[in-house]
């Protein structure tokens, strides 16, 4: 009886861990089409406009938000914060168009390959 319960718990754990894992996998590869050309464009815009605060190639962001940790399932938040600014970060909507910001999103989500 006891060993049955233990096995039941383990089985549940496997289900839980497996479930969480597959959810995050789906997000990472989710519907977003990450066109390499778009990522490259975003990297270029980033190095010109964002790297002074967020660090070159998203490394070493000092006081600003570490973009490597931006939640991949919060694209609307990204678009909104970048377009309108947030606290110490200036708004970019006047300087960058929607396609530019889209490419920045692709770059941030794809991550920097060392
Ligand atoms: C003048 C310095 C500065 C520059 C330049 C800058 N940022 Fe920021 N950014 C910040 C700071 C500071 C924060 C943290 C804001 C806060 O949460 O108080 C931030 C936060 C963010 C966030 C997180 C917002 C959120 O919803 O929490 C994103 C995304 C972001 N920046 C993207 C960018 C992108 C893309 C660029 C280039 C177009 C850029 N930033 C340029 C200073 C900067």
Which of 18-27, 49-58, 64-73, 88-97 comes out lowest in average pLDDT?
Answer: 18-27
Q: How far apart are CA 85 and CA 101, in angstroms?
A: 12
Which of 19-28, 41-50, 58-67 comes out lowest in average pLDDT?
Answer: 19-28
Instruction: State the distance from the centre of ligand 1 to the C-alpha of 64, rounded, in angstroms.
Output: 6
Q: How far apart are CA 31 and CA 93, in angstroms?
A: 25
The total of structural domains in the chain comes to: 2
pLDDT (0 to 100) of residue 19: 46
How open is the CA angle 79-82-84, to the nearest 5 degrees?
100
- CATH number where 84 lies: 1.10.760.10
Q: Domain check: are 1 and 42 in the same one?
A: no
**Side-chain half-sphere exposure of 74, counting CA atoms within 13 A:** 9
Q: How far apart are CA 58 and CA 94, in angstroms?
A: 23
Q: Domain check: are 41 and 24 in the same one?
A: no
Q: Domain check: are 51 and 3 in the same one?
A: no
Q: How far apart are CA 79 and CA 72, in angstroms?
A: 12
Check pocket membership of 88 for ligand 1, CB cut-off 6 A: yes
Q: Domain check: are 21 and 70 in the same one?
A: no
Which of 28-32, 57-61, 88-92, 97-101 comes out lowest in average pLDDT?
Answer: 28-32
Q: Domain check: are 76 and 100 in the same one?
A: yes
Q: Domain check: are 89 and 51 in the same one?
A: yes
Q: Domain check: are 95 and 41 in the same one?
A: yes
Name the one residue in this structure whose structure tokens are 């970060």.
Answer: 89
What is the residue range of 5's domain? 1-30
pLDDT (0 to 100) of residue 18: 47
Residue closest by Cα to atom 3 of ligand 1: 53
Q: Domain check: are 23 and 70 in the same one?
A: no
């Amino acid at each position: 009886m006891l060993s049955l319960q233990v096995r039941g718990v383990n089985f549940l754990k496997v289900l839980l861990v497996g479930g969480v894992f597959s959810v995050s996998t789906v997000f990472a590869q989710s519907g977003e089409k990450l066109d390499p050309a778009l990522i490259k464009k975003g990297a270029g815009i980033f190095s010109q406009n964002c790297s002074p605060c967020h660090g070159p190639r998203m490394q070493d962001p000092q006081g600003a938000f570490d973009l490597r940790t931006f939640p991949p399932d919060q694209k609307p938040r990204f678009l909104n914060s970048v377009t309108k600014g947030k606290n110490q970060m200036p708004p970019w909507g006047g300087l960058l168009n929607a396609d530019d910001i889209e490419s920045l999103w692709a770059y941030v989500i794809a991550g920097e390959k060392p």
